[in-house]
Amino acid sequence: MDNISELINSIKEFPAMPNVIMHALNIMKDPESSTKELAKIISYDQSLSTKVLTLVNSAYYGFPQQITSINRAIALIGMSKAKNIILTVAMRPMLINQDDKELWKHSIRAAVGCEHLAKGLKIMDSDEAFVVGFLHDLGKMVLSLKSSSTCQKVKELTNSGANIIEAEQLFFQTDHCQMGSLLAKKWQLPLLIANSIKYHHNPKLSPMPVPSTLVYVIDALVQDESNFDKLDKEIMKPLNIRIDQPDILRDSIFAKSELLLNELST
């Protein structure tokens, strides 16, 4: 058995996909499904339905009138955006580890950034871009479940300038990209998501370079201290990604993501 499989099998409480996400994804796989079926899934969970309505009525979506019905909300924003809301709400408890909201905030910022850039450059579906941005660091959650103290050592090393992949390999003999991809496959998430998670630090190796490169760019841009200047510009060339004013884009992403973070944190 390889090191990665041994590590993942050693985590006794390996996270299962939240049921509400599983049901939502199954509904959306069915071409015969309707917004009413998705609304029914949301309505079963009072906390989730309240949060969905809160988000749809927030400044992030900016609808001019108050929306009070889940059916109406999904009809207005569409099935894909409704799925994204369910995903962010249901995943929040998993991504916040021991009151550490750093991973949660970064995931939301990356999601908003990928959505924004994908829409502006028209390089992939913006709703799919939101998901790959949101889940790109899923493997960090897995490594934290294995050993939060070791993750702290990784963080200390990277804060001093070390490469995060090399630091994780040093302590775990694997890294968050591999572990996140493995979890995505365990959860039977689409191949596009698993690949973007696996290759977001090295898009040149990805068989699906568009989402991996998009995450690579946004991930660096929305760090607490932007790493945009350290990006390999050769990786961005095939997609013709050119960002002339990264600070302005970063500020715009942060401002928009704060709207989501504020609503989701209450």
Give the global pTM.
0.90
DSSP string spanning 183-222? Answer: HHHHTT--HHHHHHHHHTT-GGG-SSHHHHHHHHHHHHHT
User: In 3D, which of 251, 225, 198, 249 has the Cα closest to residue 102?
Assistant: 225
Copy the structure tokens of residue 119.
Answer: 């829409």
Average of pLDDT values for 202-221?
94
Residue given tokens 């990928």 in the structure block: 114
Rounded CA-CA distance 211/28 in Å is 21
Measured CA to CA, the distance from residue 91 to residue 74 in angstroms comes to: 19
Residues of the chain with CATH 1.10.3210.10: 97-266
Q: Which residues of 161-183 are buried (b: 16+ CB within 10 A; e: fewer)?
A: eeebbebbeeebebbbbbbbbbb
pLDDT digits (tens, 9 = 90+) for 14-45: 567 888 888 888 888 777 778 888 888 888 88
Predicted confidence at residue 1, as pLDDT, reads 40
62-92 pLDDT, tens per residue? 888 899 999 999 988 988 899 899 999 889 8
* pLDDT tier for residue 96 given thresholds of 50, 70 and 90: confident
* 97-266: in CATH 1.10.3210.10: yes
